[in-house]
Amino acid sequence: MTAIIRSGSSATGGIKLAVTDSATSASSTAGAAPTRFTDSATVLTGILIGGATATKVGASGTAAGVVATNKYTVVLTNVAVAGTYYVDFYSTDGTGLATPTSSLTTWTVTVKAASAADSTSTSYIHAGSSPAVAADSATVTAEKTAGTVAGNIKTTLLTLGAATSASALESLTATITGAGTLGAHATLSSAIATGRSLLVKDNNYVVIFADGTTGTGTVTITGSTSGIVYKTATVSFYSSTPSTVTATVKKAYIAAGLTTIKVVNVVVKDATGTVVQNATVSLNPATAGTGETTTSCAYSSTSVANVCSITGSSAVKFGKVSYVAKVVGADTAETEIKSAAFDVTFADIVATSVVISAPSSGSVGDKVTVTLTAKEKNGYPVADSTYEGGSANGSVGGIFWNTTTVPAYSSASFNPFAAGETITTTSGVATVDLYLPAVAGNITGTWTLAGTAGTTTGAIDKTIAGSTATITIAVANPGTEAATAAAEEATAAANDATDAALSAAEAAEAATAMAQEAVDAVAELSSQVTALISALRAQITSLTNLVIKIQKKVKA
């Protein structure tokens, strides 16, 4: 049996030929066609594997005088180029091999190109030397010293969100403009700084290094064949010499005598305006003798700032204290700079006033804001903290509500500041946004403060313990009210129409009566005229008779 690829990209394909079935019948020629292939060099026993042309002599396996009838499986293998392939088959007898003993059979195979990677591919940048995860780091920054690793990028080629076939993978071109340089390797830790434009094998890491300059570098990852831009990311390189410092107060009111975290953010920048991460930052009282102490700060990549906590010196010491942020650079000269002074106020964590407010009215489905305002005994807002929730009596941010008389709501879907809900205050204020119920009517909320009169409990002072705060919101339904108003207007119009019809009927009756009176008057007048005419006729007749008598007398 012989199979030949006679056209198409034959150099990239091969043929696999195997006997998959055979049968014998009581005919006369032995060895006419093989029922198996027996070449010991064949990798798979009984299977012919060849290149563009595959010829195989097989043993019949049948006795003389018996004809073998076979079925063959043919597979086109190792196809690396798209195109149309034509495979011809014929058989020869077991002796000559050169002369076909069967007619030519042609098999046509069209091979499509493998689907290339597309824009569903993923590419993530990660700060530092840890492998990139399935999310970008918020910022990627490093000190400018040449060779310092700032971050790395891992690109995974996908086709319609699935792994791209091996034959369709492409290499990547990685470039950086501005500050920085690049390296690439299959193993992240093995990458070394190589240049500013690299040809990178798929699935390798691209590592970003500092090159001794400050500023921003922009990295672009592009498919070398497809031209798809898989990633564009920026990296910042800073100098260890600080140039400017800005302090921003995040919590203006903090607990006296306790430690409050994340009170101040201090941003340090170099001469190019790039954030410096490796400076030593501390908060110091601006004026000696306040009793407050120096506080150290730690850099946070999430906040992109040095985040500072402050501890109050005494639980009974309240009021404003001014601080400055002191910065010492990691440069050789240990450059020192200071921020402008800023204030924080030490306040109590126990409220002497709790007010809850909300809009007095709204429409069904409206979004409204309910506001809680709490003040302490010095008139300051209560210290910025979390209250209620899991807080215990007497702890920082203790409970607000009575544990036996929990907040009561007229609508189950409208329940701001519920029992056990964490309440976070900023300058004494906490807010909750909710949607008004879908049913019109008044909704109410009633909160009973913790403790009983005369006993301070949790975050509630004894002067207001056990008292209540309430809100009432009148919820209207404009659609229903509009329909009701329209119905009322329609009813009024119908009533007006009825009144008009009744008035018209009365007018018609009056007109009918007047017409009848006119008819009667005409009839009476007609009778009178008739009588007068009759009387006149009688007088004429009498006069005529008189004239005749006179005439007769005259003639006589």
pLDDT digits (tens, 9 = 90+) for 399-440: 999 888 889 999 999 999 998 899 999 999 999 999 999 999
- Class for the domain spanning 122-238: mainly beta
Would you say residue 37 has pLDDT above 80?
Answer: no
347 is written with which tokens? 């306040």
The residues near 387 (Cβ < 8 Å, ≥ 6 apart) are: 374, 397, 398, 399, 400, 422, 423, 424, 425, 430, 459
CA-based nearest residue to 402, from 411, 393, 410, 412? 393
What is the CB-side half-sphere exposure of residue 114 using CA atoms within 13 A? 15
CA-based nearest residue to 311, from 383, 230, 377, 216? 383
CA-based nearest residue to 194, from 147, 141, 142? 147
Which one-letter DSSP state was computed for residue 12?
A: G
For every residue of 456-481, which 3-state class applies, written as one string?
Answer: CECCECCCCCCCEEEEEEEEECHHHH
SS3 for 495?
Answer: helix
Distance CA 22, CA 25 (A): 10
Q: What is the pLDDT of residue 481?
A: 66
Asked if 46 and 25 touch (Cβ cutoff 8 Å), the reply is no
SS3 for 513?
Answer: helix
The values of phi and psi at residue 412, to 5°, are: -65, -25
Specify which residues 299 forms β-bridges with. Answer: 306
Q: What is the pLDDT of residue 88?
A: 72
369: left (phi over 0), alpha (psi -120 to 50) or beta: beta
Would you say residue 350 has pLDDT above 90?
Answer: yes
Residue 301's identity, in one-letter code, is: S
Asked if 264 and 342 touch (Cβ cutoff 8 Å), the reply is yes
SS3 for 79?
Answer: coil
CA-based nearest residue to 266, from 293, 299, 295? 299
Q: Say if strands 253-255 and 342-347 run parallel, antiparallel, or are unpaired.
A: parallel
Q: Which whole number is the average pLDDT over 377-387? A: 95
Domain-by-domain residue ranges, the chain?
Answer: 2-111, 122-238, 246-347, 351-479
- Class for the domain spanning 246-347: mainly beta
Mean pLDDT of the chain: 83
Q: What is the pLDDT of residue 80?
A: 67
The residues near 262 (Cβ < 8 Å, ≥ 6 apart) are: 250, 251, 307, 308, 309
pLDDT grade, residue 112 (50/70/90)? confident
Q: Which whole number is the average pLDDT over 166-177? A: 88
CA-based nearest residue to 354, from 474, 470, 473? 470
Percent of the chain whose predicted confidence (pLDDT) is above 90: 51
The values of phi and psi at residue 486, to 5°, are: -65, -40
pLDDT digits (tens, 9 = 90+) for 485-541: 777 888 888 888 888 888 888 888 888 888 888 888 888 888 888 888 888 888 888
The values of phi and psi at residue 216, to 5°, are: -110, 140
Lowest mean pLDDT among 41-50, 186-195, 387-396: 41-50
- 351-479 fold: Immunoglobulin-like (2.60.40)
- CA atoms 332, 333, 339, 345: torsion sign: positive
Same CATH fold assignment for domains 246-347 and 351-479 = yes
pLDDT grade, residue 46 (50/70/90)? very low
Tokens 């009144």 locate to 499
pLDDT digits (tens, 9 = 90+) for 307-317: 999 999 999 99
CA distance to 215, 369, 408, 438, 450, per residue, from 412 (Å): 55, 17, 9, 12, 22
The reported pTM is 0.65
Q: What is the pLDDT of residue 113?
A: 67
Burial classification of residue 323, based on how many CB atoms lie within 10 Å of its CB (0-12 exposed, 13-18 middle, 19 or more buried):
buried
Concatenated DSSP letters for 272-341? TSPBP-S-EEEEEESSTTSS---EEEEEETTTTEEEEEEE-S-TT--EEEEEEEEEE-SSTT--EEEPPP
Asked if 291 and 257 touch (Cβ cutoff 8 Å), the reply is no
The values of phi and psi at residue 489, to 5°, are: -65, -40
Percent of the chain whose predicted confidence (pLDDT) is above 70: 80
Angle at 42 between CA 39 and CA 43, to 5 degrees: 150
Q: What is the pLDDT of residue 161?
A: 78
Concatenated DSSP letters for 516-545? HHHHHHHHHHHHHHHHHHHHHHHHHHHHHH
For every residue of 243-268, which 3-state class applies, written as one string?
Answer: CEEEEEECCCEEECCCEEEEEEEEEE
